[in-house]
Amino acid sequence: MNQPPPGDPSAPGPDAPPATGGDSIPATLGQPSAGRFWLAVLLTGAGTGLGAAALTRLLEATQHLMWPGPGASLLEAAGRASAVRHVLVLLGAGLLVGTGQVLLGRLTSANGIDITEAIWFHAGRLPALRTLGSALLSVFAVGMGVSLGREGAPKQTGAVIANFVSDKGRLSDEQRRLLVACGAGAGMGAAYGVPLGGALFALEVMRGVLALRYVLPALFASAVATVVSWAVLPDAPTYSIPAFPSSASVVVWALLAGPIAGVVSVGYVRLVRWADRSKPRGWQRLLVPVPALGLLGAVSIWFPQVLGNGKDVSALAFAGQVAPALLLGLLVLKPAAILLCMRSGAPGGLFTPSLTVGAMLGGVLGHAWSWAWPGVPPGLFALLGAGAVLAATTQGPISAVVLLMELTGRDRSFILPLLVAVGTATLVARTIEPRSIYDARLSDEEVEARRRLRDQAAR
């Protein structure tokens, strides 16, 4: 078993209860300690669903306070806001991020640990106070317009709840690793209403293994979390799209565009790695976010699409309502905004921002393709590009396909070209770069160690 190194803040204290029961994941209710494990799965799902619902409502309240106006769209509200509001709100976000990061560093003795790092190298253990504080900070920051994803907070909350339940249930390290991945995936499922996609995300992206003995815990945790969140959050697709017609043109485009999306994804992942490794340290954490996010606010005066996680502009791209010139501009500006926010130290997710980058790339490549072979709706190109980049940057092709189907409420109208684009993009990306956006902070040695552990877990 991989245990945290001596002195690591995520390691269990001397008074922590020892893990009991078998190390394996119980596949049936008749195995030793199975009842305790399955109860932990259900409690993790329920707690994560409640946390995701509360955090989502808090984010929405923050957004409506900072960007007032009718409707729930950040893009529409920002488009009507004054230039002064753009700059002041983002300067305020920078001050909040800087102050929050410094306070978290001074009030908690534990260093921050990424969920992926925790699962692979610390038996899933995370510093609870630091992780929850970062989750709460990301909710306020994203609500104010920081160009990162809102799923980061529910994922962190689900992982912390899984840790707490694992301690109380005295689960083994292997069971804890899986439960923390299930908690993170359940947070994704509850935040976006995608129970199956959340479960696959937990296994394929977070745990790195699609093994039969892991499937049921991930499914139950994500399903329970999503059902619980539906008591507060709407049960509806995130993106409303038409039933796109399939054609030979779009299949050929997917075959050619997939490798391009894979190469672009590699560059994006490496820039994410650079931004993460270049985050401010010490008292720079207080000073850097203010001018960085202030710059984002200034740019958003002319391009409000760079604000937030990108959901609104992706929806417009899927409907074919974004002009080619704007698509091209946002293909540069949106990744730059994401990296700027990460480089400033702002916490947040990367799921929807990466999907948005893919939508812009697909839209640009699609408009170019239409000159040679017209007849394909422009929104379909954006959707396929979103799936290709999402799969390549997360290195989770199966979860990416299912997530796109759940997020749109559609399946057969685009499944064949989506599989082609996702498969070729992921193959190219994996050939060049072993990291995904979720393990970008891992060193080369840790990436190799993770590969060995993943191979062992798959046996």
Torsion angle defined by CA atoms of residues 191, 193, 196 and 199, in that order, rounded to the nearest 10 degrees: 10
Domains and CATH numbers, the chain: 34-229 (1.10.3080.10), 248-443 (1.10.3080.10)
pLDDT at 70 (0 to 100): 78
* Res 58 pLDDT > 70: yes
- Residue 3 is predicted with a pLDDT of 42
Tell me the angle at which helices 311-318 and 378-394 cross, rounded to the nearest 10 degrees.
Answer: 130
Q: What is the pLDDT of residues 77-99, one digit of tens each?
A: 999 999 999 999 999 999 999 99
Given pLDDT bands bounded at 50, 70 and 90, which one contains residue 295? Answer: very high
Residue 4, pLDDT > 60, answer no
pLDDT, averaged across the chain: 90
Q: What is the pLDDT of residues 159-210, one digit of tens each?
A: 999 999 999 999 999 999 999 999 999 999 999 999 999 999 999 999 888 8
CA distance 340 to 141: 14
pLDDT, position 13: 38
Predicted pLDDT at 387: 97
Average pLDDT on 46-65 reads 96
Mean pLDDT of 298-312: 97
What confidence score (pLDDT) does residue 283 get?
Answer: 87
Residue 17 has pLDDT above 60, yes or no: no
Q: What is the pLDDT of residues 225-266, one digit of tens each?
A: 999 999 999 888 999 998 898 899 999 999 999 999 999 999
CA distance 360 to 383: 9
Mean pLDDT to the nearest integer, 134-142: 96
Contacts of 244 (CB under 8 A, 6+ apart): 377, 379, 380, 383, 410, 413, 414
| 199: its two tokens | 């479960």
Q: What's the confidence (pLDDT) of residue 2?
A: 39
| pLDDT tens per residue across span 351-406 | 999 999 999 999 999 999 999 999 899 999 999 999 999 999 999 999 999 999 99
CA distances from 290 to 102, 320, 334 (A): 13, 35, 19
Residue 453 has pLDDT above 80, yes or no: no
- Sorting pLDDT into bands at 50, 70 and 90, what band is 109? low
Q: Distance from CA of residue 90 to its chain's centroid?
A: 22
pLDDT, residue 108, reads 67
Window from 2-6, 106-110, 336-340, 410-414 with minimum mean pLDDT: 2-6
Task: Convert the pLDDT of each residue in 406-451 to its tens digit.
Answer: 999 987 779 999 999 999 999 999 999 989 999 887 777 877 777 7
Residue closest to 187 by CA, chosen among 149, 216, 130:
149
Closest CA to 354 of 173, 186, 199, 201: 201
pLDDT of 223 strictly over 60: yes
Confidence of residue 32 (pLDDT cuts 50, 70, 90): confident
DSSP codes of every residue in 414-454: THHHHHHHHHHHHHHHHHH----TTSTT--HHHHHHHHHHH
The H or E element containing residue 270 is helix 248-277
Model pTM?
0.91
DSSP state of 349: B
At 112 the pLDDT is 61
Question: What integer pLDDT is reported at residue 6 of this predicted model?
Answer: 36
pLDDT for residue 138 is more than 90: yes
Among the listed residues 123, 96, 80, 128, the one whose alpha carbon sits nearest the alpha carbon of residue 301 = 80
| Higher per-residue pLDDT: 319 or 69 | 319
Helix, strand and coil content of the chain, in percent to the nearest 5, comes to 70, 0, 30
pLDDT value of position 25: 87
**Residue 15 confidence class, pLDDT cut points 50, 70, 90:** very low
pLDDT value at 7 more than 60: no
According to the model, what pLDDT value does residue 459 have? Answer: 62
